[in-house]
Amino acid sequence: MSDSPTDSVRTSTGAPVLAASELCHSYGDRKVLHKLSLTVDSGERVAIVGENGAGKTTLMQICARLLTPQSGALRIDGRVGYCPQIPGLHELLTPDEHLALFSPAMGLTRGEGVAKGRELLAEFGFPVKDHGAQIRHLSGGCQQKLNLTLALLGGARLLLLDEPYQGFDHGSYMNFWDHVQRWSNQGIAVIVVTHMLADLELVDRVVSLTAVQQEEPV
Amino acid sequence: MSDAAAAAAVRRPPARRHWAEHVLLPAEMAGRELGRRRTALGLLTLLPLVFYAASRSDSDYAPVLGGIAMAFSISGAAIFCVMSSRRLDTRLVLAGYRPRELMIGRLLLLESLGALVALVFAGVIVLGSDPGDPGELLAGVFLVTLCAVPFGLAVGALVPSELESVLILIGVVGVQLTLSVSNPVAKFLPFWGAQRLLNQSAAGTGATTWPIIVAFLYAAGLFVIACWAVNRRYANVR
């Protein structure tokens, strides 16, 4: 682990999964990202930290290709799994229905997608009795587990997790980091936005989004 | 199962694309969600009937008013369908859906739902107003549905927020309601074809081909605009 974006720990010698170069983005007059460069190798675990409004979520959206940067270059090798800060789930649908809805997009049949999703949910400690409950009746932690599962369902080389454990209890939180380690061992690059200092010990590298550091090579 | 998450994460999905699954599954889920909004469904059916009942003393105009008022319900449902799904749609497109597949699914669902509402509404008018040409009346209410769905989808896809969408809906449908069918401005609005058929149904006279063609052209054009708008919104997502 490092507290500087320039001192990275590389776990792979292959081509990077993500290569962002001099990304700039503003909302109106408010500059959020300024010449941010970031390279992430396969299997690498990176934490993105920074104060509110520093551009963490904007960076994740750009990396997920949901937002076009105003300038800069971005190259991603392989499928991206994106777990947004706000899940945006349909509150009247059930977890199983969400899994079914995502399945064909992931190249899975409905049955395969639901079965695989249930396995993932079980690993995160999601109660079996809630598979058929409407989202509005689930706790925030359970909604977040489904949010995370949908990001994982189809396979990804790069996971972008924007504060993925909001609402998790302590056991689920520890379990989440065990999974991050496993994904890393499988060669999956994981970028996690976090505000929790304890998390910084669990990653290979910390990227702090501040105006000064964004201008430094990462 | 010790490591399903990691195994799922490294597995690359097979390259296969079944058109029916990509269209019908989003339609099914939108239908399930809408079906659980019982109050909204009730209002959706009641609204045109209220317009019709309120103007029933004018037996020639009541079917036109109620029929065009169906557009408030059906376009409103289409706008809601698109706007409430934006966050999840982004993820669905990122996962592999094409934006137009999501739109086609919603079109199929809402046209089916709208056809049911139209059928109920036409039955009520036939019983209540005894139109000269019930067939023309039925065609008129179906044309309202035909245009109302793509109109709502297009507005929902183009406009940034709910308030603006609702104002546009009220504006367009409201102006169509207030204008006579012979008014030149009315001919440029999406529900003119339906309005003309509903208008004619009282007397049972008048040409039907051109209003039907106009309505189909409008519906097709509006749906193309809706697809273009969502493609543009998600152009960056691959």
Condensed to tens digits (0 to 9), the pLDDT of residues B66-84 reads 999 999 999 999 999 999 9
Q: What size, in residues, is chain A?
A: 218
What is the dihedral sign for C-alpha B18, B23, B29, B31? negative
Give A133→chain B minimum CA distance, Å.
13
pLDDT band at A1 (very low <50, low <70, confident <90, very high): very low
Parallel, antiparallel, or unpaired for β A158-162 and A18-27?
A: unpaired
Chain A partners of B29 at a C-beta cutoff of 8 Å? 90, 93, 97, 100-101
- A34 neighbors A69 (Cβ within 8 angstroms): no
Looking at residue B16, its pLDDT comes to: 56
d(CA B201, CA A200): 73
Chain A touched by B20 (CB under 8 Å): no
| Predicted pLDDT at B29 | 95
> Where residue A3 falls among pLDDT bands split at 50, 70, 90?
very low
Asked if B6 lies within 8 A of A84 by C-beta distance, the reply is no
Nearest to B9 among A64, A88, A183 (CB): A183
CA-nearest residue to A89 within chain B is B88
Contacts of B96 in chain A (CB under 8 A): 104-107, 154
pLDDT above 90: residue A30: no
Determine the 3-state secondary structure of B37 from DSSP: coil
Q: Which residues contact residue A180 at a Cβ distance below 8 angstroms, ignoring those fewer than 6 apart?
A: A45, A190, A192, A202, A203
Q: What share of chain B is helix, strand, coil (3-state, %, to 5)?
A: 75, 0, 25
pLDDT of A8 strictly over 60? no
Which residues from B are below 8 Å from A135, CB to CB?
none
Amino acid B17: pLDDT = 64
A32 part of contact set with chain B, CB < 8 Å: no
Chain B interface includes A191 (CB < 8 A) = no
Condensed to tens digits (0 to 9), the pLDDT of residues B24-43 reads: 999 999 999 999 999 998 99
Cα dihedral B43, B222, B162, B97 sign:
positive
- Residue A131's pLDDT is 92
Cα–Cα distance measured from residue B223 to residue A138, given in angstroms and rounded to the nearest whole number: 36
Give percent helix, percent strand, percent coil of chain A, each to the nearest 5: 35, 25, 40
Tell me chain A's radius of gyration from C-alpha atoms.
Answer: 17
Residue with tokens 């689920």: A172
B238: confidence class by pLDDT, cuts 50, 70, 90? low
Q: Do the chains contact at A188 and B9, CB–CB below 8 Å? A: yes
Q: How far is B225 from chain A (nearest CA, A)?
A: 21
Helix axes B19-35, B62-83, angle to 10 degrees: 110
Neighbours of B31 (CB within 10 A): 19
Asked if A105 reaches chain B (Cβ–Cβ under 8 Å), the answer is yes
B22/A92 Cβ within 8 A? no
Interface of B with A in 95-124 (CB under 8 A): 95-97
Residue B2's pLDDT band, with cuts at 50, 70 and 90, is very low
- Identify the weakest region by mean pLDDT among A71-80, B18-27, B52-61, B90-99: B52-61
Tell me which residue has tokens 């605009």.
Answer: B225
In the Cβ-directed half-sphere of B195, how many Cα atoms lie within 13 Å?
Answer: 24
The position carrying tokens 């609204």 is B47
Across-strand partners of A49? A208
pLDDT in tens, B195-216: 999 988 877 677 889 999 999 9
Q: List, in order, residues 6 or more apart from A164 with CB less than 8 Å away.
A: A83, A144, A147, A148, A176, A192
DSSP code, position A84: -
Q: Structure pTM?
A: 0.85
Residues 6+ apart with CB under 8 A from B20: none
- CA of A204 vs chain B CAs: smallest distance (Å): 18
Contact B86 A88 (CB under 8 A): yes
pLDDT of B89 > 60? The answer is: yes
Q: Which residue of B has its CA nearest to A148?
A: B5
